[in-house]
Amino acid sequence: MTADARSPLSPTVRTSSSLDLSATPRVTVRPVPHGLVTINAGFWSNRFRAVAQHGLSTQLTHCQSTGRLENFSRSATGQPFEFEGYRFNDSDVYKWLEAASYALAQHADDALEQAVNAVVELVAAAQQADGYLNTYVSSGSTERYANLTDDHELYCMGHLIQAGIAHRRSLGSERLFNVALRAANHICAEFGPHDRTEPDGHPEIELALVELTRETGDQRYAEQALFFLDQRGTTPPQLSGESVIQDHAPVRSQHEVVGHAVRQVYLAAAMVDVAMETDDTSLLAASAKLWESTYERKAYVTGGLGARYQGESFGADFELPNTRAYAETCAAVAGVMWNARLLAATGKVRHADWLERTLYNGALVGISIDGTKYFYSNPLGVDSTPQPGDDRGANSSVLQQTQTGHARQSWYPCACCPPNIARLITSIAGYAYGQSDNTVWIHQYLASQVTMPVSESGAITLDVQTRYPWDGTVDVVVTSAPSHEIELRLRIPEWACNARLHVNDKPVSVTPGSYAGIRRTWNPGTRLQLTLPMNVRLVEAHPRVQENRGRVALVRGPLVFCLESEDHPNIDLDAIGIASNTSFASTFDEDLLGGLIKLEATGVLLAPKTNHALYQTASPQSHRGPVRLTAIPYFAWANRTPRAMRVWLPLVTQ
Ligand SMILES: [Zn+2]
C-alpha cells in the first residue's frame, strides 16, 4: 500500500457509510455517515492505518494464494472446475471489497484502488446472465439452491450487495453496484410467495436487501427481506427446523438467543433494519427481547458473544466459560452492527454502551496491533499448555488457533473474521455521531472533526480532541453552527460515575447511563469539556456465572484488562489474586505494543498449588504474599509470545 502516513484521514467521498438511514421512516437517531467524519489522530486513527496500510494488502494476498480469486476467474469460463476452499469463500472477497472501499473513502491509495478495481472485474465476469453469482455452484460442485441450509448462496450474495453499495457510496462507481443490483433482482425474481420460499440457513441477505432499499429508494428489496424473515420457523419447516440456524420458531416468537451466534445476531439486526423501513413494531419488539436475552444473560464482559464451540453457538443463560469461550470475532462485529441499529431505532443509551464495550474489547481483540494477524475465537483465559480434549467441537479454524496455544494467525481456512473486523474498523467513524430533529448526538468519543447538516439553514461542525480511551478528557469545540437552537447530546457511559461536563468552563450536571443534553444557539468557539473517570474498577459477574464466582475483572474506562504470563515470569497466573482495596498505577507506556496504558499494582500471591492434593481439608491460606502485577488491555493480548492469559482474577479478602 502507498498510503501516506503523514497526511490526515480526510474524507474524499462525503457519503461513504455502512448504514444510511437518511430517508428511513421509523428512526430515532440517524447515524452520521463516516464519510462526513475525519479521524485525524488518536486511538482509532492508529487502528485504521494498521488495517488500511497493512491488513488489507495481506488479506488480498491470502485471497489470491488460497484460490478465492481463482474461483471467480475460473467461474467466468463457464466450464466446470475444481473449487478451492469452503463453499462460502466468495463472501471473504466481498467483505474485503467492502472494507477496502471504506478505506479508500477515507484515504486515497492508488495501489489499493487498482487492486479493488481488478477484483471487481473478476467478480463481474463471474456473474451469470440472470444475475446469479456463486462460484461454488458455478464450479459444478452442486446445483443452484439445492441446499439452502448449508450452501450459503444468499449469504454470499448478501455480502456482494453490501460490497456493491459500499463501493458506490465510497468511490462513486456503478461497476460493482450494478453487479450487486442484478444479483438482488435475480433473488427477488426467484424467491417469493409463489416461487421459492426458503430463507438462507445463514442470515445476511436480509441486512443487504434493506440497505439496498436505502440506496435505491426501491421498497421491493426491504419487502423481500421481510419475506425471508417470515419464512423462518414455519410449519412444516423449510430448512432443518433447528434452533442452531434459528429455524425453530417464527422470528416474532423467538425470545431467547440460541444457536449459531453470528447467524442469530445478523438475524436480530436484520429484524431491526426491516422494522425501521416498514414500521413493523412487532419485529422491533422481538429483536429488543432477544437483546435482553443476550446482554442481560449471555454476553461476555468484553461484549463477546457465543459461549460454545459446538455449533459456534450461544449457551444457556449465564453459561460463560472463560478458557473455552468461543466468542467469535464475527459475532462481536455482528453485536456492534445490532447495537448500532437498535440505537438508531430507539435512541437508548444502553445500546451505545454495549457497542462501545464490544468495539474496544470483544471485536478489537480479533485483530493484532499491526493489523495483519487475527483471532477467530476469543477466550477470556488461556493456559500455558493447551489441555488435552480442549478442542472438542472446534472447527478447523479454531483448531488451528488452539493447537498453537492461541497464537494469532495471519489467515484461517474459514476466513470470515479477518475481513469482517477490517470492514468494521474502516467504517468506525460511522458509529460516533447521530442526528435527530435539531439534535446532534455524540455516541462514541473519537478524535475527529465532523460537519453535519442540521437544517436547511446550515450545518454544525465539531472538533473533538481526545486521547480516549487512554485518557478520560474529551474536548469538543463548536467551530461553526447555524443561528438557531440545537441540542447537543453527549453520552455519559453507565460506568462513568463522577463524570463531569463543562460548557465554557461552567459545570453542567450529568447522569451516568444517559445522554446529557444541552440546547442553545451555539456560538462558534464554544468549548465543551467532558471528563470521564479513568479509575480502575473491579467488576464482578452475576453470581450465576459459575466460573467467575469470587472473581473480578479489571476495567478502566471502556477497556477490559488482562494479565499475560509475559509480564509475570515464573508465576502461575492462577495464583495471582486481587484485594478489593488495591490501588493501581496507570501508566502510558509508549514502547509497549505500539503504545498503551498498563496497570500496575501489588496483588496477592495465593498459596502455591504444589503439594496440593486434588481434594484436601480447607485451611486458612497461610502462604500468601505480595506480588507485582501488570495488566494490559485485553484487546492487546497475544501480540507478544502467546502464553497464558487471564481476565478474571480471584478476589481476596484481606
Ligand atoms: Zn468469523
What integer pLDDT is reported at residue 15 of this predicted model?
84
Contact 420, 95 (CB under 8 A): yes
Three-state DSSP at 344 gives helix
Q: State in Å: Cα 472 to ligand 1 middle.
A: 32
Residues with CB under 5 A from ligand 1 (ion): 328, 330, 416-417
Report the half-sphere exposure of 447 (CA within 13 A, side-chain side).
20
Distances (CA, A) of 255 to 55, 251, 544: 38, 8, 20
Number of residues written out for the chain: 654
pLDDT of residue 389: 57
User: Which of 40-54, 60-74, 197-211, 378-392 has the least mean pLDDT?
Assistant: 378-392
The least confident of 13-17, 42-46, 304-308 is 13-17
Does 30-430 match 433-531 in CATH topology?
no
Give the confidence band of 10 by pLDDT, cuts at 50, 70, 90. Answer: very low
418 alpha carbon – ligand 1 mean position (Å): 7
CA distance 474 to 445: 7
Query: Which grid coordinates are listed for 279?
Result: 414500521
Strand 439-442 to 485-492 pairing:
parallel
Can you tell me whether residue 349 is helix, strand or coil? helix
Give the span between the Cα atoms of 452 and 440, in whole angstroms: 8
User: Which of 571, 585, 562 lies closest to 645 in space, CA to CA?
Assistant: 562
Exposed / middle / buried, residue 473 (Cβ in 10 Å: 0-12, 13-18, 19+): middle
pLDDT at 11 over 50: no
Distance 141 CA to ligand 1 centre (A): 24
Of 115-129, 399-413, 619-633, which has the strongest mean pLDDT? 115-129
pLDDT band at 365 (very low <50, low <70, confident <90, very high): very high
Neighbours of 14 (CB within 10 A): 12
Tell me what percent of the residues of the chain surpass a pLDDT of 70: 96
Alpha carbons 112 and 330: distance in angstroms, whole number: 24
**Alpha helices, DSSP H only, in 365-486?**
396-402, 417-426
CA 521, 524, 526, 529 torsion-angle sign: positive
The answer to whether 396 and 404 are in contact (CB under 8 A) is no
3-state SS, residue 231: coil
The yes-or-no verdict on residue 388 having pLDDT over 70 is no
Label residues 118-143 b or e (16+ Cβ within 10 Å = b): ebbebbbebbbeebbbbbbbbbebbe
What's phi and psi for 478, nearest 5 deg? -80, 110
Q: What is the pLDDT of residue 5?
A: 35
Kindly give the pairing relationship between strand 648-652 and strand 576-579: parallel
Grid cell digits, residue 139: 464450479
The whole-angstrom separation of Cα 42 and Cα 108 is 20
pLDDT at 390: 62
Phi-psi category of residue 468: left, alpha or beta, with phi > 0 → left and psi -120 to 50 → alpha: beta
User: What whole-number distance in Å separates Cα of residue 152 and Cα of residue 123?
Assistant: 17
**Pairing assessment for the beta strands 500-503 and 485-492 based on DSSP bridges:** unpaired
Q: Picking from 7-16, 18-27, 468-477, which range would have the lowest pLDDT averaged per residue?
A: 7-16
Ligand 1 centroid from CA 497, angstroms: 35
Q: Tell me whether residue 206 is exposed, middle or buried, using C-beta atoms within 10 angstroms of its C-beta: 0 to 12, 13 to 18, 19 or more.
A: buried
Neighbour-count burial for 322-356, b at 16+ CB within 10 Å, e otherwise: bbbbbbbbbbbbbbbbbbbbbbbbbbbbbbbbbbb
**Mean pLDDT over all residues of the chain?**
94
User: Which of 312, 328, 356, 564 is the catalytic position?
Assistant: 312
Predicted local confidence at residue 397, as pLDDT? 85
Instruction: Identify the pLDDT of residue 7.
Output: 40
Question: In this predicted structure, what is the pLDDT of residue 123?
Answer: 98
**Among 27-41, 156-170, 380-394, the least confident range:** 380-394
Residue type, 485: E
Per-residue pLDDT tens digits for 237-283: 999 999 999 999 999 999 999 999 999 999 999 999 999 999 999 99
- C-alpha–C-alpha distance, residues 303 and 418, integer Å: 18
Note if 414 is an active site residue: no
Confirm if 475 and 464 have CB atoms less than 8 A apart: yes
For residue 309 the three cell numbers come to: 464451540
Mean pLDDT within 60-88: 97
Interval between CA 417 and ligand 1 midpoint (Å): 4
- 63, 416, 417, 562: which one is catalytic? 416
Instruction: Output the nine-digit C-alpha cell for 134.
Output: 456463486
Alpha-carbon gap, residue 68 to 590, rounded angstroms: 39
> Is 213:221 a contact under the CB 8 Å cutoff?
yes
Q: What are the residue ranges spanned by the domains of the chain?
A: 30-430, 433-531, 537-652
pLDDT of residue 401: 87
Please give the Cα distance from 604 to 624 (Å, whole number). 6
CA distance 30 to 134: 34
Between the CA of 443 and the centroid of ligand 1 the distance, in Å, is: 26
How many C-alpha atoms does 288 have within 13 Å on its Cβ side? 15
CATH topology of domain 433-531: Maltose phosphorylase, domain 3 (2.60.420)
Half-sphere exposure of 642 (CA within 13 A, CB side): 20
In angstroms and rounded to an integer, the radius of gyration of the C-alpha atoms of the chain is: 24
Is the Cβ–Cβ distance between 506 and 540 less than 8 Å? no
**Active-site residue, 416 included:** yes
Q: Which is more confident, 561 or 3?
A: 561
Q: Cα(344)–Cα(347) distance, rounded to whole angstroms?
A: 6
The model's pLDDT over 307-355, given as tens digits with 9 standing for 90+, comes to: 999 999 999 999 999 999 999 999 999 999 999 999 999 999 999 999 9
Largest Cα separation within the chain, whole Å, is 77
Mean pLDDT of 424-442: 96
- Determine the average pLDDT of the residues in 1-22: 60
The single-letter code of the amino acid at 342 is L
End-to-end CA distance of the chain: 55
Q: List the grid coordinates of 197.
A: 420460499
Res 23 pLDDT > 70: yes
Banded model confidence at residue 2, pLDDT cuts 50, 70, 90: very low
Cα-flanking dihedrals φ and ψ of residue 47, to 5°?
A: -70, -40
For residue 165, report the distance from its CA to the centre of ligand 1, in Å.
Answer: 22
The single residue listed with the C-alpha cell 447537543 is: 488
Residue type, 106: Q
Architecture of domain 30-430: Alpha/alpha barrel (1.50)
Is 501 within 8 Å of 508 (Cβ atoms)?
yes
Residue 430's pLDDT band, with cuts at 50, 70 and 90, is very high
How far, in Å, CA of 304 to CA of 295, rounded? 10
48 CA from centroid of ligand 1 (Å): 20
The model's pLDDT over 577-622, given as tens digits with 9 standing for 90+, comes to 999 999 999 999 999 999 999 999 999 998 766 677 888 887 766 5
pLDDT band at 4 (very low <50, low <70, confident <90, very high): very low
d(C-alpha 525, C-alpha 620), whole Å: 62
Query: Rounded to whole angstroms, how far apart are CA atoms 176 and 631?
Result: 46
